[in-house]
Amino acid sequence: MERAAPFGMPRPGGVGAMQAPLRGFGAIARVGAIVAGWALMAISVATCIEVLGRKYFGFSFRGLDEIGGYMLAGVSAFGFAYALSRHSHMRVTLLFPYIPAWVQSFLNALAMLTLAAMAAFCAWRGLYEVLDVLSSGKRSNTPLSVPLWLPQTIWLAGMVVFAAGAILMALDALSLFFRDRTVLNRIYGPQSLEEEIATEIGHAEAREAPDRVRRT
């Protein structure tokens, strides 16, 4: 059975009221992931230059390890959002094939609701932390003396995107639980082994397509 396109993509049978917000979340999460990827490339190149500089030229970048730590927090937050938009978070599904469809629907909706609650709590507490460092003017206890609100705001932005997407999906899943549980299970349920294999084959074919075009 063909799996319905997850999280903001058009669905068979028409576009629901939540589809435009979910597509917007998917687009924002993708942009965040691309920016995070380029940031990781930049810090990797800078680290290589520093290693060579220390060994052969006697110089190093000041505070590169500290910047890398801040970047890890920001990249992780936006990574949460992108993984959610791509249906990539891990779930324990050992018993899923052996329980009735309506129980699967309930668990799928419950999973999205609890994820949304956790994401919203993290974003809420993160906001308080940023406001605290803004009011106190705290700086890092390092040679760079970075105002802590700068890296924490980037992390908070990623968590807000993650929380917003999780809440939208939870509302969509809850609506589908009462309207169409089959679609709920297809969109928000875990992938079967066959679907995971098909997804990986599709990704591999997409990566190889440009090479095939150039060869022809």
Residue 5 has pLDDT above 60, yes or no: no
8: left (phi over 0), alpha (psi -120 to 50) or beta: left
Whether 199 is covered by a domain: the verdict is yes
Report how far residue 154's alpha carbon sits from residue 184's, in angstroms, rounded to the nearest whole number.
33
Q: Taking 50 as the threshold, does the pLDDT of residue 127 lie above it?
A: yes
Whether the CB-CB separation of 148 and 139 falls below 8 Å is answered with: yes
Distance CA 199, CA 123 (A): 31
- pLDDT above 90 (res 191): no
| Mean pLDDT, residues 8-20 | 52
pLDDT value of position 92: 77
What integer pLDDT is reported at residue 4 of this predicted model?
42
Q: Is residue 3 part of a domain?
A: no
Question: pLDDT band for position 130 (50/70/90)?
Answer: very high
Domain containing 173 equals 19-215
Which of 100, 80, 94 lies closest to 164 in space, CA to CA?
Answer: 80
Instruction: Indicate whether 196 belongs to any domain.
Output: yes
Mean pLDDT of the chain: 84
Q: Is residue 131 part of a domain?
A: yes
**If DSSP codes are grouped into helix, strand and coil, which group holds residue 13?**
coil
pLDDT band, very low/low/confident/very high, at 62 (cuts 50, 70, 90):
confident
Q: Output the pLDDT for position 118.
A: 96
How many domains does the chain contain in total? 1
